[in-house]
Chains A and B, each alone.
Chain A
Amino acid sequence: MKDLQLTFHLNGREVSVQIPPHLQLVDLIRDVLNLKGTKIGCREGECGVCTVLVNGVPVNSCIFPAMKAAGQSVTTIEGVSAGDGPLDPIQQAFIEEGAIQCGFCTPAMALTAKALLDENPDPDESQIRQSLSGVLCRCTGYSKIVRAVQKASLSRRSSG
């Protein structure tokens, strides 16, 4: 087994690493690049808490071989807003609506919401529920999460 060379964009910056062939994207992000915002739940694509965006599209990073990211653009929760700058309207809305309970699904929910609003700035409630359906909230706090996405949609449109 020999390590493979992988070059891709992570949160807007080019990253080049040597990785073993079996590595999944979530393990690359958490254990090699040390970004712990992306969580691991079921490790088999059932819960969605490992969601990251690849070229703006949500994928389950626990079943996404890291080598698939070659040449692609990956966004994790760390890339949604700059460290010291203002929060993204989605993050802000999650706080204001109390859409965070234990916080474990929050990165995945926020990224999924971002992908939705980037594609459809004014979704109706069923479109929001549909787009969040791939992430399980173990606290079952779905109503507040849906409200937060509605609020984020409104604030993004009024500021844009």
Chain B
Amino acid sequence: MECAFKDLHWGKEIAIRHYLQPRTAQETLDLLSEFDGRAAILAGGTDVIPLMRRGDLQAEALVDISRLPGMNSIEVDGDWVCLGGLVTQKQVCSSPVIRQKAALLAEAAAVMGSPQIRNVATVAGNLVSGQPAADAALSLLALNAGVTILSRSGTREVLLTDFFLGTGQTRLDFRREILTRIRFPALQKDQGGCYLRLSPRKALALPILAVAVVVTAQPEKRTIQEAAVALGPVAPVPFRALKAEAGLRGAPLSKESLEQAAQDAMDESHPRSSLLRGSEEYRKEMVKVLVRRGLSRALARAGLPLMEEA
């Protein structure tokens, strides 16, 4: 049938020659090796399919890993929480374990995309896509998560703080490697986290700005022992506001400490003006607001509330 939108993504076919559904990790690696960089991995497909339709990603074959065994559960191992590489956003946002041990991750997964997207999109895919606006990536970054990458030469662990190289670029080569597991330390009693996001609508919207915060409190001294502040999309990659974090280390619990951290985080952000996301000036101001609010909520959850909500 004649298509009225030939020039738009709408009218484009997804130009693949093979759609492969391997049953084991070994079979997957063998296929990827056979195609030698001309195949791409697909799990949920909610990023890969639109990218391919727009022509922003080319591959001769898609290797659908969604049926690989043993990669779709959320497990607790001592003080660690492990997410299999095929765990979906929906699994994460509805998991009692995640709500209890990493609420900020459940909060991020709950607002990503739409229910339809969350039902199939994987958390690992959110990382591999390497987008600075990736909700779950920000929370995982603040949680000091690491990932396990499987390739023909074996497995290796990479910390998320080292994982993102540029927009759409990570240390994982999705044409040759599989992200098999995400792992992070469960939040302890003296820790609290939160995920805050500013978006044009309450649902089905990309964030204008988002912040994920984890704090470790010392309630008896009324000080902040440590804080992790992850920001996006205000730079080419999701990143940690290291200057803000340094300022918070050992800082007394006060409005001034939070104010200073918010200012530092703002200085570290480089948002661009965008028709979709607002002006640079507005977004910088909002970094300040979200960081202050995020820290305040995270501290309250860590058992160290400020007298007044910032």
Do A and B actually bind? yes
Which of these, A4, A31, A51, A63, contacts B45 with CB under 8 Å? A63
Q: In chain B, what residue has the closest Cβ to A108?
A: B116
Q: Is the CB of A21 within 8 A of B116?
A: no
Q: Is the CB of A4 within 8 A of B113?
A: no
In the assembled complex, how far is the CB of residue B212 from the closest CB belonging to chain A, in whole angstroms? 22
Q: In chain A, what residue has the closest Cβ to B61?
A: A21
**Chain B interface residue count, Cβ-Cβ cutoff 8 angstroms:** 31
Q: Is the CB of B16 within 8 A of A21?
A: yes
In the assembled complex, how far is the CB of residue B59 from the closest CB belonging to chain A, in whole angstroms? 11
**Residue A57 at the chain B interface, CB threshold 8 Å:** yes
Which residues on the A side are within 8 Å of B116 (C-beta)? 45, 48, 51, 58-60, 112, 134-135
Q: Is the CB of A133 within 8 A of B66?
A: no
Which residues on the B side are within 8 Å of A58 (C-beta)? 115-116, 119
Q: Is the CB of A136 within 8 A of B115?
A: no
Q: In chain B, what residue has the closest Cβ to A57?
A: B119
Q: Is the CB of B114 within 8 A of A44?
A: no
Q: Is the CB of A22 within 8 A of B15?
A: yes
In the assembled complex, how far is the CB of residue A86 from the closest CB belonging to chain B, in whole angstroms? 28
Q: Is the CB of B19 within 8 A of A22?
A: yes
Which of these, A1, A67, A133, contacts B204 with CB under 8 Å? A133
Which residues on the A side are within 8 Å of B14 (C-beta)? 22, 24
Which residues on the B side are within 8 Å of A60 (C-beta)? 46, 114, 116-117
**Distance between Cα atoms of A48 and B119 in the complex (Å):** 13
**Distance between Cα atoms of A134 and B110 in the complex (Å):** 12
Q: Is the CB of B53 within 8 A of A59?
A: no
B 230-275 contacts with A by CB, 8 A = none
Q: Is the CB of A43 within 8 A of B10?
A: yes
**Distance between Cα atoms of A12 and B45 in the complex (Å):** 25
The list of the 4 closest CB pairs from A to B, nearest first, reads A134-B114, A133-B203, A21-B19, A63-B49
12 further A-B pairs in the complex, CB-CB below 8 A; given A44-B9, A65-B49: A4-B19, A21-B16, A21-B62, A22-B15, A48-B204, A59-B116, A59-B119, A60-B117, A63-B49, A63-B50, A112-B115, A134-B204
16 A-B contacts, Cβ less than 8 Å apart? Answer: A21-B19, A22-B14, A22-B16, A24-B49, A45-B50, A45-B113, A58-B116, A63-B45, A63-B49, A65-B19, A65-B49, A67-B21, A67-B64, A134-B115, A134-B116, A136-B204
